[in-house]
Chains A and B, each alone.
Chain A
Amino acid sequence: MTEKKNNNSGGISRREFLKDAGLLVGGSAIGSTVLLAACGGDTETVTEKVTTTVTGAGETITKTVTNEVTKTVTADGTAPSTGLKEITLTINGHKTTLAVDPGWDLKHLLHDRLGCIGVKDMCGGVGACGACCVIIDGKAVLSCMTLAVECDGKTIENSEGIAASNHPIVDAFITNNAFQCGYCAPGFVVSAKALLDQNPNPTDDEIIEALKGNLCRCTSYPRMVPAVRTASQQLGGSE
């Protein structure tokens, strides 16, 4: 079989995309390592400095990573197809402008392009599991069912942002042992945080209601309601 050496990255210009490569997400700088990784590429090599803030530990590690960078030309040497749209959105408190393909769903943008790995994929994008949910303008919705291009001007928060802001729901999930393998946990944290934002003192039924769209294969369900209750108490919501 033929090995291919073309240099295009799925119709997106890397440089165009990287115009805001220092974007901070969830307290972790989404350095261009991640962006580059997502885009592939193999012709020229540059050295880039990537800053990572480790949330929770409170320390900043700065490391330098050598990355490969692709020139943005298609196989026949023409400019890549345009069709990218520029959007401005606020991710975990950081406002940024990005060029996105309309075909990208928000999960793809956050997870694969920006390295927000708290946005998990459990059901393969059929809207059945809640693992990829994020808070958009105050509502917990599925990022796999949201087009990135339609998020222009919106405010987005995911589990990493919630953790970075020291919201008590994260600690409550840990101290209540409300997960086992942990793959679904970020989705539950997001759903619960959205609930507490709107209703700091929810009843058990309201908690169940808010978490009902999230699936957990380890079935840690029995401890999730108490976890949200704990967080609610810490927020001072409970009398």
Chain B
Amino acid sequence: MKHFDHINAKTVEEATSALAGGNAVVNAGGTDLLGTIRTAILRDYPEMVVNIKTIPGIDEIKEEGGMLKVGACATLEEIAKNETIKSKYAALAQAAYRTASPHIRAAGTIGGNICQLNRCWYFRKYDNRFDCIRKGGNMCYAMAGENRYHSIFGAVKACVAVNPSDTAPALVALNATIKTSKRDIAADDFWDVAIPGSTVLDDDEIVTEIQIPEPAGKSAFVKFALRATIDFPIVNCAASIGNGEASICLNAVHNNPYRATKAEEAIAGQTIDEASADAAGAAGVQGATKLAHNNYKIQIAKTMIKRAILGCK
């Protein structure tokens, strides 16, 4: 790759002030960032890369005061293998485990995973071939084009790309709070397809920690992709059910992780079985609208809701 400047931040402040300097990007695991730079998909080439892995303690995982605290640079592998997370926050462990490939998980971080850019193939085509609306251009090429992997819940800002994160729906379902260098953000409010980003983060703001209250009941994560490894989800779903409440979040079906509120209402307080889960799945995809090539995703989303719920049994 072409030259850029680089710093190893030692503190959060050092990182954010470097980012405030303009045209700088954060690097954590690198597994999304370096691909985007190398294939030159974005309009701008970064002048500086800010490594935040060097901030002491930013990769810690601990449980404190009935709450799981995961540092932004904890790797997906560490999360997937952590016994506490596996037993009490199963949806997160399963989501981390199903992300990409073992190599990516060994380097990729939770912070990076929730901040990654979308995988729309128009957006990702080499050398910014399609200067689409998410990059500040004026149209969405997928809307009328090849959209088999795109949104089934409409467009945001005329873009039908989907959020590809596996851990994001788990964090929403587990009612996580995302702590940044500036503020605390509820997972529900964290994603917003600002142009060109994926989150509500300011340019000089970084995720520092994710906090998850211990769930009352069980949680689960399921994923559908063409291959069991390497692939991004076609649809995934996380559910957390307990105390008569249900929290269910789909992803890869919309620009942002999609809270399946109708499915939550349908299953809350119900006995979990094949029939109730099936009904909740059907409820969850009410209002879904197909594009030219993605009708099948509605059926798969319905199935993913059902299976995530059954996973909480």
Determine which of A125, A130, A147, A209 lies in contact with B27 in the assembled complex, contact meaning CB atoms within 8 Å: A147
Residue contact B1 to A103, C-beta cutoff 8 Å: yes
Closest CB in chain B relative to A9 CB, distance in Å: 13
**Please, how many angstroms separate the alpha-carbon atoms of A83 and B49 in the complex?**
13
Q: Please, how many angstroms separate the alpha-carbon atoms of A140 and B107 in the complex?
A: 9
Q: A147-B49, A150-B8 are in contact. Are A126 and B35 (CB under 8 A)?
A: yes
Say whether A18 faces chain B, with CB atoms less than 8 Å apart. Answer: no
* Residue of B8, B77, B230 with most chain A CB atoms under a 10 A cut-off: B230
Is B34 on the interface with A (CB-CB < 8 A)?
yes
> A145 touching B3 by the CB < 8 A rule?
no
Q: Which B residues between 86 and 114 are near A, CB-CB below 8 angstroms? A: 100-104, 106-107
Known contacts A142-B31, A146-B30, A212-B229; A102/B103 CB under 8 A: no
- Of B2, B27, B102, B228, the residue contacting A140 (CB under 8 A) is B102
Instruction: From known contacts A103-B3, A147-B30, A147-B34, infer whether A130 and B103 are also in contact, taking CB-CB under 8 Å.
Output: yes
**Complex Cα gap A215–B31 (Å):** 17
Q: Which of B4, B27, B29, B38 has the most CB of A within 10 A?
A: B38
Report yes or no: A102 in contact with B3, Cβ–Cβ below 8 A. Answer: yes
With A103-B1, A128-B230, A140-B106 as given contacts, are A212 and B35 in contact (CB-CB < 8 Å)? no
Contact, CB under 8 Å: A81 / B3: yes
Let me know if B6 and A127 touch, CB within 8 A: no
Do B35 and A145 touch (CB < 8 A)?
yes
Min CB distance, A202 to chain B, in Å?
Answer: 13
Q: How many residues of A contact B (CB 8 A)?
A: 33
Q: Bound state CA distance, A140 and B8, in angstroms?
A: 22
Determine whether A89 belongs to the interface, using a CB cutoff of 8 Å to chain B: no
Residues facing B in A129-175 (CB within 8 A) are 130, 133, 139-142, 144-147, 149-150, 152
In the complex, which residue of chain A has the Cβ closest to the Cβ of B38?
A125
The verdict on A213 contacting B6 (CB below 8 Å), with A105-B1, A125-B38, A145-B30 known, is no
Contact A102:B49 (CB < 8 A) given known A140-B102, A142-B104: yes
Q: Is B261 an interface residue (CB 8 A)?
A: no
B1-36 contacts to A (CB < 8 Å): 1-6, 8, 27, 29-31, 34-35
> Nearest 8 pairs between A and B by C-beta?
A213-B101, A102-B6, A212-B229, A103-B1, A139-B106, A213-B103, A141-B107, A103-B3
**Listed A/B pairs (13) with beta-carbon separation below 8 Å:** A83-B5, A102-B3, A105-B38, A125-B38, A127-B100, A140-B106, A145-B29, A146-B34, A146-B107, A150-B51, A209-B102, A213-B100, A213-B101
